[in-house]
Structure 1
Amino acid sequence: MGTRDSRRIPGPDKSLPYSLLQKYERKSFLGEDRMRRDGRTAVDPRKLFMSLGVISQAKGSSYLEVGNTKVCCGVYGPMDVQRGSDFKMSCQVVCEVKMAPFSCPVRRSPQPDKQQREMSRQLKDALETVIILDKFPKSQIDVYVTVIEDDGGLLAACITAAGLAICHANIDVYDILIGASLLWHDGILYADPTHDEEENEGSEVHSTVSEGGQLTIGMMPSYANGQVALLVQCGQISADNLCEGLDAAVEICQRIYTLSRKTLMDYVEQSLIENSGP
């Protein structure tokens, strides 16, 4: 039996969109009206959409949209550790971030690459900080994140989606895990960058005068006055700009935290109404 899908017309595996073949031209992120291409100012984040309970087989699940970035997360466990694994008195967290082949302009291989493995490790480090591991001895929690579409701020979206799914699974945590991303371009700070902005910033070679880079944080806004669980920074950023970026990222996390709490409370209220019956 062949693997060809007879019910659909499959496209070639190595096809490229015509936009990638065009000549690269350096463009400013801000127009003459000081607005970005999607109508936002430099410090405005994108619109958010959150939903819980999207995967019926998982103990906890969430779906998150940040602009055009779409992420789905499922949490399984706590469960007994698999045979042959290292024995630990605290809980073990297993994370896997997988990008769908159609999530990027260039088709991705189904096999996990370096970027996906690195994001899985970073997400694991953040979740181990948030989950109260001592409450689940000799147990394992599996967290699977599927990227449906990547339009920038992917790691931050995965962090927020995993934090919501962990809370939906009734797993004890110190606080809700929230992620935020920033970008510097020509000395200007941009909140919640898109994929085009990240690609343009990453493809340029900066001189010793110009600064540029990216910053992604995962934090617990209400625990210990805002404890940072993960910080990933790349590029050339001065200490003053980095402190300014951290303040802006904390403010964005506070906004997302308010919406996350409301989403969880609305889901609990709706579940109580449905379970109460007539």
Structure 2
Amino acid sequence: MTDRRRINGPSGGTSAPVYSKYLTKGPSDVDRPTRTRAPNVLRKMFLKTGVTPSASGSAYLELEASKNPKATSPGLATLSTSGLKLTCTVHGPRPLPKSAPFSPHIILTTHVKYAPFATRRRRGFVRDASERDLGVHLETALRGVIIGDRWPKSGVDVIITILEGEEDQWWGDDRGQGSTSAGEWGIMSVLSGCITVASAAIADAGIDCVDVVSGGVAAIVRESGNEEKPSSINLVLDPVPSEHQEILAACIVGYLPARDEITDLWAKGDIGNENQESASQNYAYEDLADNAVQAALGSYRVLVGALKEAADMKMR
């Protein structure tokens, strides 16, 4: 039955037309982007607090988009992946409803959602399994930071919107080249950014914490070789999935530098199996975790600098 009072949309899904001559090029016409940073160098990060005045605390985080140095023409083909852009708002602490049972600690609620336009494949309006997993990991990372017994029978909501998310592979892999890095690897970098931006928003809200927590990610990648340079397996910080031929394993941590504690650790991938090269057996999960901590320390410096800048502006 149709509704006469409004214009009904199409019954099925639609995709907007894209008028770009660069999208007509095949993967063979454009070189795969390569990592120009050193293995232990992070991408440039922009972090700012107080971007949403109506919220108790808010923050915005952005990682620069890596560009293909071999590309000669401008357009979508020059970008290896979308730069990570996250916005976080914190509401609370505020009293729980009278019908809620008594809680001696604060009730933390996390909500992570991709914007429909955040990735190349359009996201739905209802949270999927990956977004719920992000919310669970984020809650685990933040629960060990907030001093919860100072707000009995209170609640705080941490809401993160992903404006641009990390892609899992290069766009050319979807156009016939064949993906060798199958797997949701981009979600690791997204979770690392979510932990950092949520910590900044919580500090902006004035919620007492034992320390600020920062996220870091490290990965073991396989680089394709040629006649001049053979293929190799390396351990890198802050990986971009589209810049590597294959990702063997990755690890993300939520780290408290002042206490030297890890509040959340998530690792996946295979290391040292018999069907892999002998070079991969030189690394262990301990190496991944240690390098992820080093990446978290780099994010921690940016986080502390942003909070100090915000504090100086409020004191003026």
TM-score by length of 2: 0.71
How does 1:94-133 map onto structure 2 within 5 Å?
94-133=109-148
Instruction: Confirm whether residue 227 of structure 1 aligns to residue 261 of structure 2.
Output: yes
Alignment-derived partner of residue 175 in structure 1: 211
Flag the 1:240–1:40 CA change in 2: closer, same or farther, 3 A.
Answer: closer
How does 1:1-278 map onto structure 2 within 5 Å?
1-2=5-6, 12-13=14-15, 37-67=34-64, 68-151=83-166, 152=186, 153-186=189-222, 187-197=233-243, 201=246, 212-223=248-259, 226-238=260-272, 240-273=283-316
Asked whether the equivalents of residues 15 and 106 of structure 1 are also in contact (C-alpha less than 8 Å), the reply is no
Alignment-derived partner of residue 206 in structure 1: none
- 1:245-278 deviation line (CA, Å, top 9, x unaligned): 22222222222212211211111111111xxxxx
The letter of the residue matching 1:232 is: W
Flag the 1:176–1:20 CA change in 2: closer, same or farther, 3 A.
Answer: farther
Asked whether the equivalents of residues 112 and 132 of structure 2 are also in contact (C-alpha less than 8 Å), the reply is yes
Larger Rg: 1 or 2? 2
Flag the 1:197–1:214 CA change in 2: closer, same or farther, 3 A.
Answer: farther
Matched residue SS, 1:180? strand
**Structure 1: gaps (5+ residues):** 6-10, 30-35, 203-211, 274-278
- 1:206-241 deviation line (CA, Å, top 9, x unaligned): xxxxxx111111111112xx1000000111135953
Alignment-derived partner of residue 174 in structure 2: none
**Structure 2: gaps (5+ residues):** 65-82, 167-185, 223-232, 273-281
Asked whether the equivalents of residues 150 and 195 of structure 1 are also in contact (C-alpha less than 8 Å), the reply is no
Kindly state the Cα deviation for residue 87 of structure 1 after the two structures are TM-superposed: 3.0
Kindly state the Cα deviation for residue 196 of structure 1 after the two structures are TM-superposed: 2.1
Kindly state the Cα deviation for residue 146 of structure 1 after the two structures are TM-superposed: 0.4
Kindly state the Cα deviation for residue 37 of structure 1 after the two structures are TM-superposed: 2.0
TM-score by length of 1: 0.80
Matched residue SS, 2:144? helix
CA distance in 2, matches of 1:267, 1:109: 35
Matched residue SS, 1:246? helix
RMSD over aligned Cα, in angstroms?
2.9
Asked whether the equivalents of residues 250 and 288 of structure 2 are also in contact (C-alpha less than 8 Å), the reply is no
Asked whether the equivalents of residues 181 and 217 of structure 1 are also in contact (C-alpha less than 8 Å), the reply is yes
Asked whether the equivalents of residues 14 and 107 of structure 1 are also in contact (C-alpha less than 8 Å), the reply is no
Kindly state the Cα deviation for residue 38 of structure 1 after the two structures are TM-superposed: 4.7
CA distance in 2, matches of 1:178, 1:150: 18
CA distance in 2, matches of 1:86, 1:164: 30
CA distance in 2, matches of 1:166, 1:3: 42
Kindly state the Cα deviation for residue 128 of structure 1 after the two structures are TM-superposed: 0.8
Alignment-derived partner of residue 209 in structure 1: none
